[in-house]
Amino acid sequence: MQTSRGLVEVPPAQASIYAVARMQAEAGIRVARRLDPNWRPPTSLTSTIEGEIAHQRAVLRQAEQFVLSRRRGIGDNGGPPLEPDIPPRSLGELVAPEGRIIGIRAKGAQDRIRTISPEEMERIVLSLTYHGRPLKLHDRYQGVWYEGVDRCVVGIRFSESFGLTLDVRDPGGDRRFKELKLHMKGQ
Amino acid sequence: MRTDLTSRQTGTPILDWIEQIHTNIEDYDVTLGLITAAGISDFGLSGDDLVEFARRCLEKLMAVGAIPVLHEGNDYCPFVPTLRYGRKPEDIVENILASWQAGGGGVTGWGEYSFTMPENILPEWLERWEQGLPVDPEVH
């Protein structure tokens, strides 16, 4: 997979963890730079995937601290620093914000497989991972499970054939989303 | 089972839905949980109609060469082919339906009654399964 240090070969589960960490770090950088275009994230010389994941998490932490320091006293609601940009959402609000499931169905494919835009993928992953919690389910899933704010359980994994993929393991009560699979367009 | 139903979510006719069930597998799997959830929420099925819907989906999976698997593999392949439900397609369908109904017949959980295609299974495991031999990922 592509990291900030170039192409490295990593197990699928770690690739998924790295993808989440990187997406969160990039969101943190965006928010910090909106407050100060000159804000710079910490640098890293790591060459391992574990180091890359730790680095991306450090970037997020520093961005959050910077955002907090700027917002303190100007209407800060005490919530997570990036919450205004990454609001908490239920699974239904994320995958069917207007009632119908987002994305398009590939020709000849089942209707529980949807292809969504990179923007939609980022919106779902960030909300789910920033406000949810990672789960250790001790199964053989080749990605990482997250429990969302409405107790849904969604997996994030790298598929060699389809790229970043979301798997709805537990739809949190709405069977419409049971084992819904979302791929990102253009991978 | 009524064959004139369409999905409440997408408008897909029920026979088309069954015909395309295997496309869910891609490079991963499809499970009875997806089938039963769709039967209930998308097509409003219950009782014998839900069982018949599940049966037709499982028969389609068998017809395209899907293999029942357990999520007990390793980092290289999570899917281990299983002989738990038999080896012949008709046995697999009937035994899975019987097991599912004995457990209450509701929507099953992640990874339960799972199927994948041969290309998603390690070749040495597939070879043993095709010979009717059990696969232990710790050994084989």
Per the CB < 8 A criterion, the answer to whether B80 and B97 are in contact is no
Q: Please tell me which of the candidates A141, A142, A175 has its beta carbon nearest to residue B37.
A: A175
Determine the Cα–Cα distance for residues A91 and A171; give it in Å rounded to an integer. Answer: 7
Cβ distance A176 to B21 less than 8 Å, yes or no, reads no
Cβ distance B71 to A139 less than 8 Å, yes or no, reads yes
Which range has the worst mean pLDDT, A2-11, A35-44, A156-165, B13-22? A2-11
Inside any domain, residue A37: yes
Domain residue ranges in chain B: 14-130
Residues A100 and A21 in one domain: no
What's the rounded mean pLDDT across residues B20-44?
Answer: 94
Pick from A76, A88, A58, A70: nearest CA to A31: A70
Residues A64 and A100 in one domain: no
What's the rounded mean pLDDT across residues A139-152?
Answer: 92
Q: Count the alpha carbons within 13 Å of A159 in the hemisphere toward its beta carbon.
A: 21
Residues A21 and A96 in one domain: no
Residues A40 and A125 in one domain: no
Question: In sequence order, what E strands does A13-124 have?
Answer: 113-116
* Distance from the B17 Cα atom to the nearest Cα atom in chain A, whole angstroms: 7
Range of the domain at A32: 2-71
Phi–psi pair at A60, nearest 5 degrees: -60, -45
List for chain A the helix, strand, coil content (%; round to 5): 35, 20, 45
Tokens of A23: 């997406």
Per the CB < 8 A criterion, the answer to whether B50 and B39 are in contact is yes
| Span B75-118, pLDDT tens digits | 788 999 999 999 999 999 999 999 999 999 988 988 999 999 99
Interface of B with A (CB under 8 A): 7, 9-10, 12, 17, 20-21, 23-24, 26-28, 30-31, 33-34, 37-38, 40-42, 71-75, 78, 107, 109-111
DSSP letter at B103? T
Residues A58 and A99 in one domain: no
pLDDT value of position A74: 61
Amino acid occupying residue A17: I
Tokens of B102: 């004995």
Which has more confidence, A161 or A121?
A121
Domain count across chain A: 2
pLDDT value of position A3: 58
By the CB < 8 Å criterion, does A100 face chain B?
yes
Strand partners, A7: A2
